[in-house]
Chains A and B, each alone.
Chain A
Amino acid sequence: MALAVTIIIAVAICFLTTLFSYRYVRKTFDSIDQVLDSVLARNTELPFEAAADSRLSKLTHKAVKIIQMNTMDISQTKQEKEIIQSFISDMSHQMKTPISGVAMYTDLLLEGRITEAERQEFLSRIKTGTEKLQWMMDSLVKMSRLEVGAIELSPVPTGIKQTVSDSISTVYGAAAKKNISIQTAYFEDISLLHDRKWTSEAITNILENAIKYSPSNGEINLSVETLPIYTKISVTDYGIGIALDEWNSIFKRFYRGRNAKGVDGAGLGLYLASLIFQKQGGYILVNSKLGKYTTFSMFLQNCKK
């Protein structure tokens, strides 16, 4: 008798255990199903609490993250389209002035009622205008490709000394014209992960800026210093300087400093340089005292050991 009761109770317990297990598993699967439904529908308003200490809440939290990643990819593509749009409108805006200059001089030449001296003057202005347009066009195409990732930089571990020398030789002529000497402090060559052609172009831009805004007969200092994670290339000029509230803006596309009136330029050099360094996991910092000096520090990552 006792045996029979024990068996019945045992069976009952087994049955109840199975029933509750089954219901628990089913409930869990239903919850997971709901979470996955929300992921499919990209709905971040999940019916479960994402800030509790339960397994379901951890799952919910991860599902929300997946949805966010998805949404981010979509918005990134939209962003790239917008970048191209703004590029095109910036470009057309910037080119208006030189183009209308060229058009005006051409009209004057066609009208004919001008002296020979004036004719030469206008022709040379047209030439300068078209050269500027050509240069602008080249820079803008380069930049737009870089920014959207159409051109991939190919960073390889290679010595920085050659890259820096290439940049200095490119600007040597311009520096000589103003009788500016470029002093380079001695440094050990170090292998850095970088794309020589593009990095040299960026350093050239910084050097060109230094020359442009430096007084004649002055000097520009260049130094290279290795830090734990980055190597710093510094270019210092003793020219007009940059005001503190402009430090953030000078790297913007087409931005020209307040003190830059009267100096030729389109506001693209720093922007392009900063883009090139960023694409290589580096960056550029500026430090300046108005009327005293400006130092641009360019950082590139050291090769990993």
Chain B
Amino acid sequence: MSVLKTEALKKYYGKDPNTVKALDGVDLEIQEGEFVAIAGTSGSGKSTLLHMLGGLDTPTGGKVIVSGKDISGMTDEQLTIFRRRNVGFVFQNYNLVPILNVYENIVLPIELDGNAVDEGFVDNIIETLGLSEKKNNLPNNLSGGQQQRVAIARALATKPSILLADEPTGNLDSKTSQDVLGILKMTSTKFHQTMVMITHNEQIAQLADRVIRIEDGKIVAVEGR
């Protein structure tokens, strides 16, 4: 079953004659459990595409269908709740809350949704990501790689079915990047998730089941493993 689908997706900014066509008709289908990399040069539209898929932004035209539901027409409030329950985000610059420690950062989205924290599950994630000894540290006491691992743990904590990562290794050196990449692949398999990752790094993209190449807001190639 396709868990993420776009139909003729368009995102335009500005007005003629200065319209910027960030996405210009993208048709995409991602199956459940797939690990997909979206690759392209700067400004090709890949971040915009990811934001559309995660409901962080609304399209100018076309549809985004998640698990059979058209989210393109949802209100802001509906989108917020939709995101909280279905999607986990990992960003290039981690976006951790600086005044909360590692554990608190990880469980924040769970508590925002008014749910009780599943301690066993969260401990499992923390252990899998090698953060057990850093549970009480503040983000500024962690290395880049460690901060990104906390961000990943946070994204996994609400057990989302979809994980969206925007250049997750962008701020990390090549060795740490390879480490983090392995974690993303491993956790998405272990927790039965669909993973969509943006990257311009060929080393990283090769681990995906499929690599979708974007240029000027359009898909130009799809390579498969």
Query: C-beta contact mask, B158-199 vs A, less than 8 Å → 1, else 0?
Result: 000100000000000001101101110110011010000000
B224 at the interface (CB under 8 A from A): yes
Q: How far, in angstroms, from A11 to B158 measured CA to CA in the complex?
A: 47
Q: Which residue of B lies closest to A282 (CB)?
A: B182
Shortest distance between the CB of A251 and any CB in chain B (Å): 6
Check A248–B161 contact: CB distance below 8 A: no
Chain A residue numbers with a CB within 8 Å of B179 are 227-230
Q: Which residues of A contact B200 (CB under 8 A)?
A: none
Q: Quick check: is B132 within 8 A (CB to CB) of the other chain?
A: yes
Residue on B nearest A225 in the bound complex, by CB: B175
Q: Which applies to chain A's interface (DSSP): helix, strand, loop or mixed?
A: mixed
CB <8 Å contact, A304 and B130: yes
Segment of B7-15, B19-27, B96-104, B203-211 engaged in the interface with chain A: B203-211
Chain B residues with CB below 8 A from A75, complex form: 1
Chain B CB within 8 A of A236 CB? no
User: Is the Cβ of A230 less than 8 Å from the Cβ of B178?
Assistant: yes
Q: Name which residue of chain A comes closest to B202, CB basis.
A: A244
Question: Is the pair A68, B161 in contact by a Cβ cutoff of 8 Å?
Answer: yes
Q: Is B117 engaged at the interface, CB distance under 8 Å to the other chain?
A: no
Once the chains are docked, how many angstroms separate the CA of A65 from the CA of B186?
21
Question: Would you call B130 and A228 a contact (CB within 8 A)?
Answer: yes
Of A2-10, A93-101, A158-166, A283-291, the segment with at least 4 beta carbons within 8 Å of chain B is A283-291
How far is A97 from B222 in the complex, measured between Cα atoms in Å? 31
Across-interface contacts of A283 in B (CB, < 8 A): 182, 185-186, 207
On chain B, which size bracket covers the interface? 35 or more
B203 is contacted by which of A225, A232, A245, A287 (Cβ under 8 Å)? Answer: A287
Whether B182 pairs with A248 at a CB distance below 8 angstroms is no
Q: Are A227 and B175 in contact (CB under 8 A)?
A: yes
Interface residues as binary, A282-305 with B (CB distance below 8 Å gives 1, 0 otherwise)? 110111000000000101011011
B81 — which chain A residues lie within 8 A by C-beta? 51-53, 57
Tell yes or no: B67 within 8 A of A by CB: yes
Kindly state the interface size class of chain A when it binds its partner: 35 or more
Q: Which residues of B contact A281 (CB under 8 A)?
A: 186, 190
B74 within 8 A of A: yes
Q: State whether A247 touches B182 (Cβ < 8 A).
A: no
Instruction: Find chain A residues with CB under 8 A from B67 CB.
Output: 44, 64, 68
How far apart are the CA atoms of A71 and B130 in the complex, in Å?
32
A232 to B127, CA, bound (A): 20
Beta-carbon contact of A232 and B161 below 8 Å: no
Q: A72-B192, A229-B183, A244-B202 are in contact. Are A51 and B32 (CB under 8 A)?
A: no
Chain B residues contacting A252 (CB-CB under 8 Å) are: 225
**Residue of chain B at shortest CB distance from A284:** B207
Contacts of B205 in A (CB 8 A): 248
Known: A230-B182, A285-B178, A299-B182. A61 touches B68 (CB 8 A): no
Contacts of B181 in A (CB 8 A): 285
What are the residues of chain B within 8 A of A72 when measuring CB–CB?
32-33, 192
- Decide if B30 is an interface residue (CB 8 Å cutoff): no
A126 to chain B, nearest CB (A): 37
Check if A21 is an interface residue, CB within 8 A of chain B: no
The reply on A249 being an interface residue by CB < 8 A is yes
A-contact bits for B56-81, CB 8 A (1 contact / 0 none): 00000000000110000010011101
Q: Are B225 and A251 in contact (CB under 8 A)?
A: yes
Q: Which chain A residues lie closer than 8 Å to B145 at the CB level?
A: 228
Instruction: Give the docked Cα–Cα distance between A151 and B122 (Å).
Output: 30
A248/B224 in contact, CB under 8 A: yes
Tell me which residues across on chain B come within 8 A of A65, comparing CB atoms. Answer: 161
A245–B208 alpha-carbon span in the complex (Å): 13
User: In chain A between 20 and 54, which residues have their CB closer than 8 angstroms to a CB of chain B?
Assistant: 44, 50-53
Q: Which of A53, A75, A304 has the most CB of B within 10 A?
A: A53
Contacts of A61 in B (CB 8 A): 85
Q: Closest CB of chain B to A270's CB: distance in Å?
A: 12
Q: List 6 A-B contacts (CB under 8 A).
A: A52-B78, A225-B175, A227-B176, A245-B223, A282-B182, A285-B206
The 3 closest A-B pairs by CB, nearest first: A227-B179, A51-B78, A247-B206
Q: A227-B178, A297-B178 are in contact. List 19 more A-B contacts (CB 8 A).
A: A50-B85, A51-B78, A51-B82, A51-B85, A52-B81, A57-B81, A58-B113, A68-B67, A68-B161, A69-B192, A227-B175, A227-B179, A228-B146, A229-B130, A230-B179, A230-B182, A232-B175, A285-B203, A304-B127
